[in-house]
Chains A and B, each alone.
Chain A
Amino acid sequence: MAEAHAPLLSLRGLTRRFGGLTAVDGIDLDLAKGGLVSIIGPNGAGKTTLFNLVTGLDRPDAGEVRFEGQDITGLSPERLAGGGIARTFQLGRVFGNLSVMDNVLIGAHTRLRAVKPAVPVIGPLLELGLALLRPSSVKAEEERLREEVKTILARFGERLLPRIDQPAYSLSYANRRRVEIARALALKPRLLLLDEPTAGMNPSETTEMQGLVAELKAEGLTILLIEHKLEMVMRLSDRVIVMDEGKKIAEGPGEEVRKDPKVIEAYLGHGLSGTAEQESAA
């Protein structure tokens, strides 16, 4: 274990350029174990690109990412998932033709042990053999994970459980977002990145989602959150980071950041202040 005060996740000078555009420009960030940090900012500020850099879907041009004290910069998403980093996607990336159950089981993929022996070279062939022969250890593992999926789905009340065998493409938009979060939870993440979990949800659904995230935080899960709905951000975050045009323009407790003239300007300049007021009034 790393020393007690070392952050779970820390970014130093993280930078990503696309041609002439610097989408993420020298971002520093520390996230303590059990903490919740929100990233806000106008559209195109580079928030999702930052998530991609942390989860390995994109590689930074400069800077480093440390997770539990180890340098994980540029590792593949597969390895980072194995290391306990789970994320949801802004536009919702459920597996459309898979049932709700199978979608969430994919979330538990990195936790398969019995069917995926950690043997070099012939490991994949053993996996194929075990999947076909299905000894009792493999069956038991699959059964245990299926039970666990039901427990996870139960967190969403009656939203998903009755639809457990339906293909994800048949779900409502809000339910697809829920499936994504369920899938992320099935990984048993040590770090959860949520990219606009309430996008496209109505106020009551948003409140429900806010309750769930608060619950996860109370259970000790470390969370990095991108969110436009400021009410939720203010309530849940230990700290808020404001990004604009790739740069961090403010950081601190929610109330402080909210009054920062640079933040107000960034939002006003991009015509998003209306959203902010609306949300805080809700």
Chain B
Amino acid sequence: MASWLDYTINGLIVGNVYALVAVGLALIFGVSRLINFAQGSIYLVGAYIGWVAVVQLHTPLPITIIFVAVVAALVGLIIERFGLRPLQNSVRIAPLLATIGISFVLDQLVMLTFSPNPRALPSQLPDVRFQLGGGTIGPLDLLIAGVGISSALSLFVFLRYSKLGWAVRAASQDRDAAMQMGVDVNRVNQAVFGIAAALGGVSGLLVGMYYNQIDTAMSLQATLKGVVAEVVGGAGNVPGAVVGSLLLGLVESYGVAVFGTSYRNLFAFLLLVVVLVLRPNGLFASARQAPPEPLTGTFIAPSRPVRIPRWALAVAVAAFAVLPLLPVSFYMLQTLINAWLLGMLALSLTLVAGTIGQVSLGHAALLAIGAYTSALLSLTLAVPVGLAIIAGGLMSAALGTILISPSFRLRGHYVSIATLAIGEIVSLVILNWESVTRGPIGISGIPPLSLFGYDLISPNSVYWFSFAVMVALALLQARLLSSHLGRSFRAIRDDDIAARAYGLSLNRYKSLAFIFGGFAAGVSGGIAAHLYSYINHETFNTQQSILALTVVILGGLGNVVGAVVGAVALVGLPEIFRIAAEYRILIYGIVLLLLVRFRPQGLLGTI
């Protein structure tokens, strides 16, 4: 039985590691008002570069650390130069989406290079423990503490006494004023990204050594933890990020001590949601200050949407409806069924992210809620599948909206973080709430789709069913957009202050958008559950959230037809070109990046 002192030491050490990630995030936020979702990917790159150095090159420890810092800094510089600098005068949503895309591409590149299997990362330090009061401390703990403290000190000296450091501080206080005084903001950005990446990479190395294991799932976790620590400390506040990190480390460590390891992340995300709701400026800011606006300007790219005549849409629907009667392959039907399911999710996300401007990164959680509700109702209570799917949609609408509601007072990047965290909370609850969800085992033997007592087993009937549901949801959404709610949602997206000044309640309309969108996503998840016949807590993961986001951007934010076209394109084209499955996610990430850079309004235009 480890002592409380051990948990405290462990919490502080882990906190030190988080601080290395969080300080970088805080620096970047300070200068660019941007939450860098790719920070975790750099951390991942750092861990694997470290593995190459230790295991293959057999470098001594100091060289390993320097090597990792230099390579990670280079990656950071490349991200800044080619990923973000071209977007400087772009719409607010662009850099946010770009860092998400970059993160995806980096993670996939690491996974393709090193395979997703976990690897051991030996620490190169003697395995001894020193007695310290009632607990113990090892050389690695001391190393992590040393790296953490010396990084903090050198960063302090840099910001305080070097000319470039002054420029960084000036730019983060008032970017325009700094530019007018001759500060080269590009150089400041470079410096900040380089430093942030070096710290993030070293952090990945140290964590890998601490647990003697690295795997590609580390990336998202690191981003989330870093962001939690940064937001707790106050976005853009460098010392705050350090305190936030130590606090997060302690909360997690004590949480694990009391409740067990599988709850570790739950505490981090709950802490985040509580802080975002109660003190969105972090613990050290005054409560009455408005949260800093992440970037300024129009949120989505202004565009004139491509108007597709009704007859053309009717012809397209009719053509897809008669498709199964033609001599098409089973494989093609299967692909299109997947496209229709993704289309429903995209309809949901395009409403939430596009129409009302809440870029949700946890949308797969809505699928999961719908899927589990429908599966459990039909399995345990023998509810007819058709009704169970509708119940799944309603549950997703209700529960999803309630879970997401704490983020209604947030804006821009904060919404994305909150939804990402809420998505993780849902999947952790599914994993841990074994009496209802059957925990890690998942649910098997889910009855197949059926309607009015007839099982829909043939590919044709499944195709027609999913296509009909998607078309119905699309028509309903188009009708919604043409009502006063459509303009109200879009007004809130374009300028929530002006919208409030004209009597639009943000809570009310964001709730309605999530209720409507939650229903569509829940239905999609419900159908998927009955189609797959087996689901677990990993069936609906962040990758699907990102895929849906790419679909939505491809089609044009808020564009109903675009969401469906995007889904068909992203599911269908890789099939046509026979791209191997492991490269697909990489391609989705690259597509997202290219769209943000060259066609932010998507194929059919934002609405």
A-side interface residues toward B, CB under 8 Å?
55-57, 59, 76-78, 81-82, 86-87, 89, 93-98, 102-103, 105-107, 109-110, 112, 115, 124-125, 127-128, 131-132, 134, 142, 167, 169-170, 183, 187
Contacts and interface: CB of A to CB of B under 8 A. Distances in A.
Interface of B: 288, 298, 300, 302, 304, 476, 479-480, 483-485, 487-488, 490-491, 493-495, 497-505, 508, 511-512, 515-516, 606-607
> Nearest 5 CB-CB pairs, A to B?
A81-B503, A131-B483, A110-B503, A93-B498, A95-B494
B504 A93 contact: no
Given A81-B501, A82-B503, A109-B504, A132 B490 contact: no
B497 A106 contact: no
Given A78-B504, A97-B494, A131 B480 contact: yes
A187 B502 CA distance: 8
Nearest to A184: B502
B491 A134 contact: no
B298 A95 contact: no
B42 to A, nearest CB: 34
Contact of A109 (B304, B479, B502, B511): B502
11 contacts: A57-B497, A78-B503, A78-B505, A81-B501, A89-B501, A95-B491, A97-B490, A109-B504, A110-B503, A128-B512, A132-B476
A128 B515 contact: yes
B501 A87 contact: yes
Contacts of B500: 57, 76-78, 81
Given A95-B494, A98-B490, A128-B516, A106 B499 contact: yes
Contact of B508 (A82, A112, A115, A124): A124
Residues of A contacting B: mostly: helix
A98 B512 contact: no
B487 A106 contact: yes
Contacts of A131: 480, 483-485
A77 B512 CA distance: 20
Contact of B487 (A105, A110, A124, A134): A105
A124 B511 contact: yes
A102 B494 CA distance: 12
Contacts of A128: 480, 485, 512, 515-516
Contacts of B485: 127-128, 131
B501 A97 contact: no
B502 A81 contact: yes
A21 to B, nearest CB: 13
Contacts of B304: 167
A83 B505 CA distance: 14
B485 to A, nearest CB: 5
B501 A167 contact: no
A26 to B, nearest CB: 19
Contact of A169 (B302, B493, B504): B302
A113 B499 CA distance: 18
A205 B503 CA distance: 30
Contacts of B298: 96-97, 169
Contacts of B497: 57, 93
Nearest to A93: B498
B477 to A, nearest CB: 10
B511 to A, nearest CB: 6
B502 A98 contact: no
Contacts of A127: 485, 512
Contacts of B607: 97
Given A105-B484, A132-B476, A95 B495 contact: yes
Given A102-B487, A105-B487, A97 B300 contact: yes
Residues of B contacting A: mostly: helix
A30 to B, nearest CB: 23
Contacts of B302: 96-97, 167, 169-170
A125 B508 CA distance: 10
Contacts of B498: 89, 93-95
Nearest to B509: A124
A2 to B, nearest CB: 23
B453 to A, nearest CB: 29
Nearest to A186: B502
Contacts of B502: 81, 86, 106-107, 109-110, 183, 187
B171 to A, nearest CB: 22
A48 to B, nearest CB: 12
A21 B342 CA distance: 53
Nearest to A142: B484
Contacts of B487: 98, 102, 105-106
A78 B515 CA distance: 22
Contacts of A109: 484, 488, 502-504
A95 B490 contact: yes
Contacts of A96: 298, 302, 494-495
Contacts of B512: 124, 127-128
Contacts of A93: 495, 497-498
Contacts of B300: 97
Given A115-B484, A124-B512, A132-B479, A98 B494 contact: yes
A82 B497 CA distance: 15
A82 B508 CA distance: 15
Contacts of A59: 288
A211 to B, nearest CB: 25
B495 to A, nearest CB: 5
A38 to B, nearest CB: 21
A106 B487 CA distance: 7
Nearest to B506: A78
A139 to B, nearest CB: 10
A97 B516 contact: no
A128 B483 CA distance: 10
Nearest to A112: B484
Contact of A132 (B483, B491, B501): B483
Contacts of B515: 125, 128
Contacts of A56: 501
Contacts of B480: 128, 131-132
A27 B505 CA distance: 29
B68 to A, nearest CB: 42
A134 B483 contact: yes
Nearest to B290: A58
A167 to B, nearest CB: 6
Nearest to B515: A128
A176 to B, nearest CB: 12
A94 to B, nearest CB: 8
Nearest to A87: B501
Contacts of B476: 132
B405 to A, nearest CB: 12
Contacts of A110: 502-503
Contact of A106 (B504, B505, B508): B504
A86 B484 CA distance: 20
A56 B505 CA distance: 13
Given A77-B503, A115-B484, A187-B503, 19 more contacts: A57-B501, A86-B501, A89-B498, A89-B501, A93-B497, A94-B495, A95-B498, A96-B302, A96-B495, A97-B490, A98-B487, A98-B494, A102-B491, A106-B488, A106-B499, A106-B502, A109-B502, A134-B483, A187-B502
A125 B607 CA distance: 24
A187 B485 CA distance: 17
Max chain B Cβ within 10 angstroms of own Cβ: one of A97, A125, A131, A187:
A97
A76 B499 CA distance: 12
A257 B225 CA distance: 59
Nearest to A133: B479
A134 B288 CA distance: 41
Max chain A Cβ within 10 angstroms of own Cβ: one of B300, B476, B483, B511:
B483
